[in-house]
A and B are shown apart, each in its own frame.
Chain A
Amino acid sequence: MAVSFKAEQSSNRRKTWFLLGAMFIAVVALVWAAGTLLNFNAYLLVPIAVGISLIGVWTSYWKSDSLVLAMTQARVISHEDAPQLYNLVEEVCIAAGLPMPKVAIVQDPAPNAFATGRDPDHAVIAFTTGILEKMDREQLQGVAAHEMAHVGNRDTLVMAVAATTAGLLAILADMGARMAFFSRRDNDSNPIAVVVSLVIIILAPIAALLLRAAISRKREALADATAVQFTRNPTGLRRALETLAADNTVVQQKSTAVAHVWIESPLDGKSKSMFDTHPPLADRIALLRQMEGAPPAAE
């Protein structure tokens, strides 16, 4: 059964909106819960919590290109340093109709790559020395297309929105819990409502993390589909992911701050988990095989 990249793209875009909507509903539920517990209008807390969350996330969003480059110690290169790599990024940019990003190399034996930057004009895409050694031109083109797809789909922005909302939920829940602890409650409040509110306050931050991870997974799947739109060649990316799956070296920087930006997550374990930032490689490979029009490999 062949799958078209267009169907995959629209399905993943739809699911992103759905998940962002779910996060918004979580905010509303949390505000309701805090209000019920404290007998006061908790909407007043929202602007404060939004402010705190925004400060934390949006400076790192705005400066994402220079921050991530510094954190991973990536070195920005020109055409002369690595002609083939530079050429194939240029090729993908033409296919995508996007401006040429900065291209960087990270000294790391583990094969991996990432894209960041607040908009296509400030984009950086980086490759580890490991990926350049282990992959041929067709595979690297697939990887470059996946990273440029992140740039084109504005995934730094999408993930910044998700992180802000997750931060907002954590801050609100924290405020609610503290105030509930210190406030004297009137006896007329409904006990069921109080219990439900407590459960919401405890679960909301966890739900936020799960939703954020789910959004990240959808954006990865979307980037795979968009990469195929750019190159019209699912084989390159599929072969690249197979090489990643076969490889056991892991990027040395295991920092959670930059984990979601890599093409293969340095943090996700071998078993499938709801907190994973990436869909399992095997699923991504199977989907690309379907886009090639081939049946999934028998295992």
Chain B
Amino acid sequence: MWIWIILAIVVVLLVIFVIATYNKLVRSNVAVDEAFAQIEVQLKRRSDLIPNLVNTVKGYAAHESGTFEKVTEARAVGEKANGVAEVAAADGMLTQALRGLLAVAEAYPDLKASANFLSLQEELSATENKIAFARQYYNDAVRTINTLIVSIPTNLFAGMAKVTKREFYEVPNEADRNAPTVTF
């Protein structure tokens, strides 16, 4: 009689444990997708800021066409990018191009003083910060799921939950990890 009760308790505890582990894996996996979606939202926002920014700078420095082309090109690449590695590469390229654009702006005091440019600059640097934080949050989420997949006992359930290792978001150029510094 007692044996059966103890056995039943053990089985119930085991089932609860399996469900909890399974759910943890699924939740952590969804968190990675959500974190990536957040990066894309912020990249889209930066992409939307660019035409306005380019036009504002053009008004003061029309002959710097090479810089504008680079930015526009990088933006086009970014809008077509798919998958973590591609998006990250395009992100790095655009960050680089924008840095060039802001460096150009440095040479034009009238531009730097214009209210329109200042507010665009704040929006851009805020978006760059958001991208950097979204990236950090995403990589933390990837680290969590990748650790779960190789740790005991969660590794036993990874197959059942159809969870596999995820890809880190790595910006190719080391210097691009930090958002361009915009001074106020």
Chain A positions near chain B (C-beta within 8 angstroms) = 83-84, 87-88, 90-92, 94-97, 136-137, 230-232
Contact = CB atoms under 8 A, between A and B. Distances in A.
Interface stretch (B18-26, B118-126, B145-153, B166-174): B118-126
A93 B180 CA distance: 20
Interface residues of B, number: 14
Given A95-B137, A231-B133, 17 more contacts: A84-B126, A87-B122, A87-B123, A87-B129, A90-B126, A91-B126, A91-B130, A91-B133, A94-B38, A94-B42, A94-B130, A94-B133, A94-B134, A94-B137, A95-B133, A97-B137, A136-B184
A196 B35 CA distance: 57
B126 A88 contact: yes
Interface string B9-32: 000000000000000000000000
The 4 A-B pairs of least Cβ separation, nearest first, read A87-B126, A95-B133, A91-B129, A94-B133
B136 A95 contact: yes
18 contacts: A83-B122, A84-B122, A84-B126, A87-B122, A87-B123, A88-B129, A91-B126, A91-B129, A91-B130, A91-B133, A92-B133, A94-B130, A94-B134, A96-B137, A97-B35, A136-B184, A231-B133, A232-B136
B41 to A, nearest CB: 9
A87 B120 CA distance: 12
Say whether chain A's binding surface is mostly helix, strand, loop, or mixed.
Answer: helix
Nearest to A141: B129
Contacts, number: 35
Contacts of B133: 91-92, 94-95, 230-231
Contacts of B122: 83-84, 87
Contacts of A230: 133
B179 to A, nearest CB: 10
A96 B137 CA distance: 7
B147 to A, nearest CB: 14
Contacts of A97: 35, 137
B54 to A, nearest CB: 21
Q: Is chain B's binding surface mostly helix, strand, loop or mixed?
A: helix
Nearest to A92: B133
Residue from A88, A90, A95, A232 having most chain B Cβ neighbours under 10 A = A95
A79 B35 CA distance: 23
A233 to B, nearest CB: 11
A95 B133 CA distance: 5
B1 to A, nearest CB: 35
A94 B134 CA distance: 6
Contacts of B130: 90-91, 94
A94 B43 CA distance: 13
A83 B129 contact: no
A88 B136 CA distance: 16
Contacts of B123: 83, 87
Nearest to B134: A94
A97 B184 CA distance: 27
* Residue from the set B38, B123, B133, B136 with the largest chain A CB neighbour count within 10 Å: B133
A207 to B, nearest CB: 38
B137 A83 contact: no
A243 to B, nearest CB: 16
A281 to B, nearest CB: 25
A73 to B, nearest CB: 28
Nearest to A86: B126
Interface string B62-82: 000000000000000000000
A83 B123 CA distance: 8
Contacts of A137: 184
Given A91-B126, A232-B136, A83 B119 contact: yes
A83 B129 CA distance: 14
A242 B136 CA distance: 27
Contacts of B35: 97
Nearest to B38: A94
B93 to A, nearest CB: 22
Interface in B38-52: 38, 42
B161 to A, nearest CB: 21
